[in-house]
Amino acid sequence: MTAPRPVDVLVVGAGPAGLAAAARLAAAGAGRVEVLERETRPGGVARHCAHGGFGTWTHPLTGPGYARLLTRAAERAGATLRTGVTALDWAAAGPVLTTVGPGGPETVEARAVVLATGARERPRAARLVPGTRPAGVYTTGELQQAVHLFGQHIGTRAVVVGASDVSYAAAGTVRAAGAEVVALVTEHPRAQTGRARARTARLGHRLPLLTGTTVTELLGHGRLSGVRVRHRDGRTTVLPCDTVVFTGDFVPDHELARRGGLTLDPGTRGPAVGAALHTSRPGVFAAGNLLHAVEPAGTAAREGARAAGAVLDFLAGTPWPDPGVPVAVEAPLRWIAPNRVTPAAPQARHVLRTRIPLTRPVLYVHQDGRLLHRERRPTALPDRTLTLGARWHERVDPRGGEVRVSAG
């Protein structure tokens, strides 16, 4: 192995979180700030979201536009972007990574590492959807790249599995590719999107939505010929199609975190972090959708900037904090992030997910049977952001047991 090459901060992943972290770190004079991106272009998932919803109210952008904006900001601030370079694994200790790219293998020794490796959708196999293994089976990520980055032909009739925001984006991509959307299929009783979007899709674009419906089998040899679905009442039907898109069901892309022995949160399956985004491995921070799969790009970017603040403190000599008090959720809540409470951390709000729709729920925060906080929230849907404020952090006993968040 070659001698380690020193940098000050190594950011892994040039999506919104990584680029925003790099921009702030470089601008604040953190020294040599290097961003590793294994894809050929920076921007992460945003680079193939060829639809609006990025940027701000005053500066609305598409995904690719937003990716370019963040890339320019990081480069202008003085960060070095290295695309086509993969972080493979860790050295035995510390924030030291082995990498490979066209230039060959390398060991990079950083004073701090920010992991921003993002999230991915769970594909058909992980969802254990039975049937044959034909061609024509996509995730939204693959579909968007196929259509928007490569202009590939995708098929003529597509079933979209899911009815969350990303599912509607996938349906838009299917239509943009000149194919017909046979239906959106969700096991939930309604779409996991705003009522306006659902109505526009149904009435404006005539996209059928099948609620209370599960995909039970993929059919076809060679190419997909249809999907079998089961309705709530037990009836089954075959929807003839040559393409199926499995949307949503995001999970953190946590391989590097796991290889580094980072403590994972059992709910998110991403690294366990407090609000300042320290992981369990000294010198290693994490930000973005690696922590919560998935939040909008803007949330990831703000979190990247927040991680950069903690990195700057650490480089200035602030000691690595204790792990903090774990925060867990009770069903039907699925996960919460950040999922540690550490005394000195900023009071950033938490994001949560629910498994089932909750109408104007009250969230309760308990520690060792003691009620720390209660808060009424707007109606929450699966796959949509639910938030919880952080004002209760000061009431957490740092030597006490796990904090538990429940919905009532």
Partner 1 sequence: MTVTAAGPLPQTPYDVAIVGAGVVGCAIARELARHPRLRIALVEAQDDVGQGTSKANTAILHTGFDATPGTLEARLVREGYARLGAYAAETGIPVERVGALLVAWDEEQLAALPRLAEKAQRNAYPDTVLLGPGELYAREPHLGPGALGALHVPGESIICPWTTTLAYATQAVRAGADLHLNTAVQHVRAADGHLLTTSRGTLRARHLVNAAGLHADTLDRALGHEDFTVTPRRGQLLVHDKLARPLVRHILLPVPTALGKGVLVAPTVYGNVLLGPTAEDLDDKRATGSTADGTAALREQGRRILPALLEEEVTAVYAGLRAATGQEDYRITAHPGQAYVTVGGIRSTGLTASLAIAAHVTGLLADGGLDLGPVREPEPVTMPNLGEAFPRPYQRADLIAADPEYGTLVCHCERVSRGEIRDALASTVPPRSLDGLRRRTRARAGRCQGFFCGAAVRELFERGARP
Reduced DSSP (H G I as helix, E B as strand, rest coil) percent helix, strand, coil of the chain, to 5: 25, 35, 40
User: In the chain, what's the furthest Cα-to-Cα distance?
Assistant: 65
Q: Looking only at residues 79 through 98 of this chain, which bind partner 1 when binding is defined by CB under 8 A?
A: 84, 86, 88
Using the minimum distance from each CB to partner 1, give the nearer residue, 102 or 317.
Answer: 102
221 makes contact with partner 1 (CB under 8 A)? yes
Size of the site for partner 1 (CB under 8 A): 41
**List 91, 146, 344, 390, residue binding partner 1 (CB under 8 A):** 146
Q: CB of 352 within 8 A of CB of 387?
A: yes
Using the minimum distance from each CB to partner 1, give the nearer residue, 141 or 324.
Answer: 141
**List 24, 47, 82, 124, residue binding partner 1 (CB under 8 A):** 124
71 CB-contact burial (10 Å; exposed 0-12 / middle 13-18 / buried 19+): buried
List the end-to-end C-alpha distance of the chain, in Å, as a whole number: 56
5 makes contact with partner 1 (CB under 8 A)? no
Single out the residue of 396, 398, 377 nearest to residue 387, CA to CA. 377
243 makes contact with partner 1 (CB under 8 A)? no
Amino acid identity of 313?
A: D
Q: Which residues pair with 184 in a beta bridge?
A: 160, 209
**List 4, 31, 101, 321, residue binding partner 1 (CB under 8 A):** 101
Using the minimum distance from each CB to partner 1, give the nearer residue, 105 or 343.
Answer: 105
- Binding segment (CB under 8 A) for partner 1, from list 131-139, 182-190, 200-208, 366-374: 131-139
**List 19, 36, 46, 121, residue binding partner 1 (CB under 8 A):** 121
Using the minimum distance from each CB to partner 1, give the nearer residue, 85 or 159.
Answer: 85
**What is the per-residue DSSP string for 327-382?**
EEE-TTEEEEES-EE-TTS--PPEEEEESS-BSSPEEEEEETTEEEEEEE---B-T
H helices, E strands: number in the chain: 7, 27
**Look-up: residue for tokens 């109505």?**
199
Using the minimum distance from each CB to partner 1, give the nearer residue, 113 or 177.
Answer: 177
187 makes contact with partner 1 (CB under 8 A)? no
- Cis peptide bond N-terminal to 159, omega within 30: no
Q: Looking only at residues 312 through 371 of this chain, which bind partner 1 when binding is defined by CB under 8 A?
A: none
**Look-up: residue for tokens 């924030």?**
95
302 makes contact with partner 1 (CB under 8 A)? no
234 makes contact with partner 1 (CB under 8 A)? no
Using the minimum distance from each CB to partner 1, give the nearer residue, 149 or 356.
Answer: 149
176 makes contact with partner 1 (CB under 8 A)? no
Using the minimum distance from each CB to partner 1, give the nearer residue, 132 or 237.
Answer: 132
**List 31, 53, 123, 357, residue binding partner 1 (CB under 8 A):** 123
Separation of alpha carbons 296 and 300, rounded Å: 7
Q: CB of 257 within 8 A of CB of 239?
A: no
Shortest Å, Cβ 140 to partner 1: 8
Separation of alpha carbons 7 and 120, rounded Å: 29
Shortest Å, Cβ 132 to partner 1: 4
**List 29, 72, 208, 216, residue binding partner 1 (CB under 8 A):** 216
Single out the residue of 305, 355, 327, 82 nearest to residue 297, CA to CA. 305
Q: CB of 383 within 8 A of CB of 353?
A: yes
Distance of CA 236 to CAs 212, 214, 231, 239, 340, Å? 12, 9, 6, 10, 45
**List 152, 237, 347, 379, residue binding partner 1 (CB under 8 A):** 152
- Chain residues binding partner 1 by CB under 8 A are 38-39, 84, 86, 88, 100-105, 120-126, 128, 130-133, 135, 138-139, 141-142, 145-146, 149-150, 152, 216-218, 221, 251, 253, 255, 258
